[in-house]
Amino acid sequence: MAQEITLTVNGATRTNQVEPRLLLADYLRSVLDLTGTHVGCDTSNCGACTVSLNGDAVKSCTVFAVQADGADVTTLEGLASDDGTLHPIQEGFWEKHGLQCGFCTPGMIMSSLDLLSKNPNPTEAEIREGLSGNLCRCTGYHNIVLAVQFAAEKMNSGS
Amino acid sequence: MTTFKTIGKSEPRRDLPEKLTGEAKYTADVQLPGMLFGKILRSPHPHARILSINVDAARNLPGVRAVVTPFDAPKGQVAPDMPILDTEARYVGDEVAAVAADDEDLAEAALSLIEVKYEQLPFVTDAVEAIKPDAPQTRPGGNLVGGKPLTLIRGSVEEGFAQADRIFEETYSTPAQAGAALEPRAAVASWDGDNLTVWKSTRGVHADQLALSLALDVPRGNIRVMGQNMGAGYGTKDETRLGAITAVLAQRAGRPVKIELTRQEEFVAGRHRHGTTTTVRMGVKNDGTVTAVHATTIMDTGAYLSSGPGVIRRAGQGALYLYRCANVQYDGYLTYTNTPSGGSYRALGAPQGHFALESLADTISEALGIDPLEFRLKNHVGLEGQPGERVTPANEVLDTQPVEGGVPFSSNGLRECLQRGSEAIDWGQPSERPESGNLRRGKGMGMFIYRGGAGGRSIARMRLESDGSLRLLTGLMDVGEGSLTVMPQIAAEELGVGYGQVLVTFGDSETTPEAPLTAGSTATFSTGTATKEAARQLKARIIEVVAPLLDTEPSNLQITDDGVEHIQYPERSVSFAQIAESVGEIEVEAAISPGSRDHVINSFGAHFAEVEVDTDTGQVRVLRYIAAHDSGRILNPKLAINQVEGGVSQMLGFTLSEQMLTDPRNGVTLNASFLEHKSPTVQDFPEMQVLFADVVDPVGPFGAKALGEPPSIGVAPAVANAIYNAIGVRIRDLPLTPDRVLNEIEAQRGDSQ
């Protein structure tokens, strides 16, 4: 039986009828066509599907869409300003070349957002701990850490 | 010294904006009106004949729109040893049938309604067992591919061993390693009458177009393959069966179909690095001079051949070419088993072969009392190539490396890599004493050679478009490595305009000209050379048509960022838009078969690692890593460094933790998940320094050579040698997991007592 859910996604209110078994990742990708959220494993191991749910990073492949009823969800598509200005984390990944194939990137950025919102001045070890649930097979991670450090500095100097 | 506008600069990746905002489209993101979802039924048996398949119940499930089985599939082959679907299943996970339905859950439900009658057949899951005479036969022709080993010889190893004072022999093994690209492969197929469009994970749209044409018996011109962004592949996404199955389902349903593999399917039915067992025998003089090298590799290609014949060849590359030696031999046994299929994976067989060779080199160094670095400095192959006589006719392009000697390399920076890398890690200085009594530190190294040569024929098109923009069109795929960025750098440099001014269109078999696979580290060399030539031609054409407009000779004109100007009177100029307006669009096309008749083109490098081993737990930590590479001129340093760091990280997984495990009792893959096939996380990455030798190759475009794969070759020997240096224990089987390290510590202590 489909259920009605209403939630805020990237600032816009969305109401849809969804099957209770529909995963949040599939809801975002298939129903809302927000394909910036990637699915790499279905088992919470790779982190590519990470989104922000009420300010916390969650792996959307293991959250049901109905669990997000009433919630505030942000995906990578919702991070830049309306005028296209990149978020400092996006800017960090740009400046430091924190990606190759880009498939892990949405999850990496959303996990970084969670990390920096809770710990604005992370040490390198804290960054690595904070991103340890996100796999990248291309870059060797080094530039991703640099990207988060860049973002932390920028966000702190801006506030 | 040559000054460049864009070559050698860390231009930002072309795909950054779309990949950072979520706009980038991957194959699974393709959505078409009326699209169905496909699912594949896979064999539960490692080897079985399919006697019958009853699909009635599945077909009758409401919402199921198409079914395909081996009994009704088109009869074409997707590879020489692989039809679209087969009546024989060859590994647990082999494709048996497929359905398309209105949604994924329905398709899944339909699979459970398909009844298959199997006759189970004898099977074998281990390559060493498979080549024994009484082994169960995986195929009528026997398990050994071609019925005999690939044998490559220079000189005579008998003579070489006769000259030796001492002979050393050791055997090493490496497991199957999943590529584990984060994007599971996917395909979408859509028919419009007789015309088929396929979107798929691919590293070569034209190769896929040809393969699909042969498999489906549809004229090549009726098939369009469109590459999307690739969630990487490292070589592993070069198979056609998924695309062919998707196309058959779409044809039968009369609607577009998408199939996305699950992560578990990707592990089992994707392609992986071949497991190997390699024995290396080396003869040396007491002063350390190498007199003979004989390597034998048994390689498990799994259920299908895929690119196995190329991979078995590459596994011998180190033994045949790395050390200066007149008497060498390589015997490669490529073997079918009833396990998932191996395939192309970053540097093909080179990491496996080098692990054995470069580990043995340390054993020899120690036995002779020579420092491992000195042993390599004394024996590494030089610019002049291997000793001996050239056999390949001089008019033949040396695109496959000749076994004979007498042919020089186009460039060789191996010695510089050895020297600079060893300095960077303070070679010869003992490691700092660790804090705890259970911890031991040590340093190790390994050097390597990699063909990564010229690549195949490539066509590049360059266009001055009607609005004055400049565009490069090539069928090349950027699989994450960055050719989407490097190709416009090459084009812009040759044209004489800024990097940002060259627009690019990639990877569409209909709108872009043919390019070879993004494979074998050849993209920069092959398509880069074609791009450079196309840009040269476009520049000449533009200047030629502008000369009359500016009432002067072409030799007085030059290209600038804005258009064309008179060299002496820059005020006499015309913009690209004005040129296009005056003479219309200008298009040129360059087709090249890259390579050299006079040289062997190889990349080189040396890796150095410092590790810490916990002798209580067997845990190995890599503390410091130096990767020194000769890949010719580096066209984009940031991208190049990233390639090296990523390659090393991947192969730290190969060295320390990753392996695909098959249950020998039933052929089941035991660890088809990221949780159990353990890849390095961000917490496992060591402090790392990447060095590039100051080499400009005389053949490669702007002096560049291969880079994508070489970073993965030196990691296992460097780390294994460092572990030996730390604890005096030589471990000959990868991965070097804590339990294996502990067991070896116990066993080898026992030996010495």
Q: What's the CATH code of the domain at A103?
A: 1.10.150.120
Query: Residue B261: what are its φ and ψ, rounded to 5°?
Result: -75, 145
What residues of B are labeled active site? Answer: 709
Share in percent of chain A as helix, strand, coil (round to 5): 40, 15, 45
Q: CB contact, 8 Å: A37 with chain B?
A: yes
pTM of the model: 0.96
Question: Chain B interface, mutation test: which of A137, A139, A145, A148, most B Cβ atoms within 10 Å?
Answer: A137
Domains of chain B: residue spans and CATH: 31-121+183-231+237-269 (3.90.1170.50), 272-453+598-752 (3.30.365.10), 455-592 (3.30.365.10)
A153: closest CA of chain B, how far (Å) = 19
- A129 domain residue, yes or no: yes
Q: Do B480 and A138 touch (CB under 8 A)?
A: yes
Q: What is the DSSP letter of A67?
A: G
d(CA A46, CA A132): 10
- Identify which of A75, A94, A142 has the shortest CB distance to residue B685: A142
Tell me, yes or no, whether A8 and A61 share the same domain. yes
Tell me, yes or no, whether A60 and A23 share the same domain. yes
Q: How many Cβ atoms sit within 10 Å of the Cβ of residue B76? A: 16
> Which residue, among B111, B183, B681, B26, has the nearest Cα to A42 in the 3D structure?
B183
Q: What is the torsional sign of CA A104, A107, A110, A111?
A: negative
Tell me, yes or no, whether A140 and A73 share the same domain. no
Tell me, yes or no, whether A69 and A98 share the same domain. no
- A33 domain residue, yes or no: yes
Local structure of B27: helix, strand or coil: helix
Q: Where are the alpha helices (DSSP H) in B281-385?
A: 308-314, 317-321, 350-368, 372-379
Tell me, yes or no, whether A73 and A100 share the same domain. no
Tell me, yes or no, whether A109 and A127 share the same domain. yes
Range of the domain at A24: 3-78
Question: Chain A interface, mutation test: which of B19, B105, B260, most A Cβ atoms within 10 Å?
Answer: B19
Q: Do B22 and A75 touch (CB under 8 A)?
A: yes
> Which residue, among B720, B743, B744, has the nearest Cα to B351 in the 3D structure?
B720
> What order do you get walking across the sheet with B502-506 strand by strand?
B502-506, B470-474, B458-464, B586-592
**By CA distance, what is A89's nearest residue in B?**
B20
Question: What pLDDT score was predicted for residue B753?
Answer: 45
Tell me, yes or no, whether A74 and A102 share the same domain. no
Interaxial angle between packed helices B715-727 and B637-656, expressed in degrees from 0 to 180 and rounded to the nearest 10: 50
Q: What is the torsional sign of CA A102, B687, B745, B296?
A: positive
> Which residue, among B55, B33, B477, has the nearest Cα to B226 in the 3D structure?
B477
Tell me, yes or no, whether A17 and A63 share the same domain. yes
- A153 domain residue, yes or no: yes
Q: What is the torsional sign of CA B677, B681, B686, B690?
A: positive
Q: CB contact, 8 Å: A34 with chain B?
A: yes
Q: Do B480 and A77 touch (CB under 8 A)?
A: no
DSSP H or E stretch at residue B178: strand B177-178
Q: Where are the alpha helices (DSSP H) in B340-475?
A: 350-368, 372-379, 414-424
Question: Chain A interface, mutation test: which of B18, B19, B182, most A Cβ atoms within 10 Å?
Answer: B182
Whether the bond into B594 is cis, omega within 30 of 0: no
- A83 domain residue, yes or no: no
Residues of B in contact with A128 (CB under 8 A): 682-683, 685
Local structure of A31: helix, strand or coil: helix
Asked if B460 and B527 count as a contact pair (C-beta separation under 8 A), the reply is: yes
- A101 domain residue, yes or no: yes
Tell me, yes or no, whether A68 and A105 share the same domain. no
- A57 domain residue, yes or no: yes
Asked if B203 and B239 count as a contact pair (C-beta separation under 8 A), the reply is: no
Half-sphere exposure of B445 (CA within 13 A, CB side): 29
Question: What pLDDT score was predicted for residue B481?
Answer: 84
Last residue of a domain, one of A60, A78, A96: A78
Helices (H) and strands (E) in chain B, counts: 19, 30
Reported as a single tens digit per residue, the pLDDT across A25-72 is 999 999 999 999 999 998 999 999 999 999 999 999 999 999 999 999
Question: What pLDDT score was predicted for residue B131?
Answer: 96
Mean pLDDT, chain B cut into blocks of 10 residues (753 residues total): 90 96 97 97 98 98 98 96 97 98 97 98 98 96 96 95 98 97 97 97 92 97 95 90 98 98 97 98 98 98 96 95 97 98 96 98 98 98 91 68 83 98 97 87 97 81 97 91 93 97 94 86 88 97 96 96 95 96 96 85 96 96 97 96 96 97 98 95 91 96 94 98 97 98 89 51
Q: What is the DSSP letter of B272?
A: E
Q: What's the CATH code of the domain at A62?
A: 3.10.20.30
Tell me, yes or no, whether A7 and A69 share the same domain. yes
Tokens 């009758």 belong to B60
Local structure of B158: helix, strand or coil: helix
Last residue of a domain, one of A25, A47, A78: A78
Whether the bond into A106 is cis, omega within 30 of 0: no
Q: Do B181 and A132 touch (CB under 8 A)?
A: no
From chain A residues 91-120, the ones with a CB under 8 A of any chain B CB are 93-94, 97, 99-106, 109
Tell me, yes or no, whether A65 and A102 share the same domain. no
Last residue of a domain, one of A78, A107, A134: A78
Reported as a single tens digit per residue, the pLDDT across A91-147 is 999 999 999 999 999 999 999 999 999 999 999 999 999 999 999 999 999 999 999
The 10 Å CB-count burial string (b at 16+, else e) for B310-344 is: ebbbbbbbbbbbbbbbbbbbbbbbbbbbbbbbbbb
DSSP H or E stretch at residue B120: strand B115-120
DSSP H or E stretch at residue B525: helix B523-549
Tell me, yes or no, whether A32 and A59 share the same domain. yes
A13: closest CA of chain B, how far (Å) = 20
Q: How many Cβ atoms sit within 10 Å of the Cβ of residue B465? A: 15
d(CA A135, CA A105): 10
Residues of B in contact with A21 (CB under 8 A): 105
> Which residue, among B291, B53, B4, B31, has the nearest Cα to B168 in the 3D structure?
B291
Question: What pLDDT score was predicted for residue B401?
Answer: 60
Per the structure, how many domains does chain A have?
2
Structure tokens of B409? 């390399």
d(CA B164, CA B283): 5
**By CA distance, what is A78's nearest residue in B?**
B21
